[in-house]
Structures are given as C-alpha cells and as structure tokens.
Amino acid sequence: LIESRTEDEVEFNKVQYKTAKKEAKRAVAVAKSNAYERLYQRLNSKEGENEVFRLARAREGRTRDLGSVRCIKDEDGRVLVEDAEVLERWKGYFCKLFNGEGVDISQHSEHLAREGQQNFRPERLITRVEVKEALRKMKSGKAVGPDSIPVEVWKSLGEEGLTWLTNFFNVIFKT
C-alpha cells in the first residue's frame, strides 16, 4: 500500500490485501477446526482420559512455559499443529542453525553409533558474543516472558551476569 503511486493502485492493493487476509483467516480456522476434531476424538477414547487432566492443568498455566507454542509454520508456510510435526520442525530448524545447510544430524549420529561412539551428540556451545548480541537486540519496556523477568534486568547485570547467562544457556542446551 505504501509503495502505490496512484489511487487505482492503492485500491487494487487494498482489495488484494483484504482477500489474502480472508483466505488466511479461513485457512487458520480450518486448521484449528481439524486440530480440535482430532483432540475431541482422542479425548473420547480410553487413552484420552488422562489427557483431559493435562489439558486442565495447561489451561491454568501451571504445566507449560515455553512449550506452550502449539503451532508453527514449516518451510513451505504450512501451519503445523500436531506435536510430532512441531517437534520435527524444531529439530530441523536447530540442525540447520547449528550445523549448516544440508547436514542431517540423525544420519551423522547413526554413522558414529555404528562405529562405536554411542554417546556422540554434535553440539556447539553458545558464546558470550551471541548472548551479548541477543541482549542488545532485545527492546526495553516490553512485556515479560514466561520467566517474568524483564529484559532490563538481564541488560543491567553487566559482564558477570553475561557470563552467568551464557553458562546457564549452555547448561540448558546440553540437557
């Protein structure tokens, strides 16, 4: 809309935007409907009895922190709502992030396991520079996350806090 030069272009772009917005809403509604239908089918089964209680706890916010992300998009832009698909997407994302393009961590691990290196886990530690850069990019004055700690606290800890935070992230990453 901003780059439009004439009123006709502006109007045309508005119509396209509204159409795309409606289609996106419809796609989200269909995905939600399908996910709820599968959930209801699971809950009505014998195995679903325990899941009712898990859902009740999750609604109260006692059981989930960062794990509350229930859907993400795959590389093609398709919304993933199944737990297994979401976990697989996160696995692929981190494989690319830490190992570069085209490296399949599971194949590499299987190869090393066959050669007798059972406890092989390829990992790269998080550096102080990465943590410092991430803190620098965080905007102050925003709402707190699931940890209820404002960004300003992390930024005010200085070099000692940066070292502690880096070590903390690496402990989490290794587990």
From first to last of the 175 residues of the chain, give the pLDDT tens digit.
456 678 888 888 899 999 999 999 999 999 999 998 888 888 888 777 778 777 777 676 654 455 555 678 888 888 887 888 888 888 888 778 777 655 455 555 555 555 555 555 556 789 999 999 999 999 988 888 878 888 898 888 889 889 999 998 888 888 7
Exposure on the CB side of residue 66, measured as CA atoms within 13 A = 6
> What is the model's pLDDT at position 63?
46
Q: Is the pTM of this model over 0.85?
A: no
Q: Minimal CA–CA distance to 153: which of 138, 170, 172? A: 138
> What is the model's pLDDT at position 145?
82
- Burial class of residue 167, CB neighbours in 10 A (0-12, 13-18, 19+): middle
> What is the model's pLDDT at position 22?
96
> What is the model's pLDDT at position 18?
95
3-class secondary structure per residue, the chain:
CCCCCCHHHHHHHHHHHHHHHHHHHHHHHHHHHHHHHHHHHHHCCCCCHHHHHHHHHHHHCCCCCHHHCCCEECCCCCEECCHHHHHHHHHHHHHHHHHCCCCCHHHHHHHHHHCCCCCCCCCCCCCHHHHHHHHHHCCCCCCCCCCCCCHHHHHHCHHHHHHHHHHHHHHHHHC
Domain ranges of the chain: 1-66, 69-124, 125-175
Report the b/e string of 60-85 with b at 16+ CB within 10 A. Answer: eeeeeeeeeeeeeeeeeeebbbeeee
Q: For residue 46, give the amino acid letter.
A: K
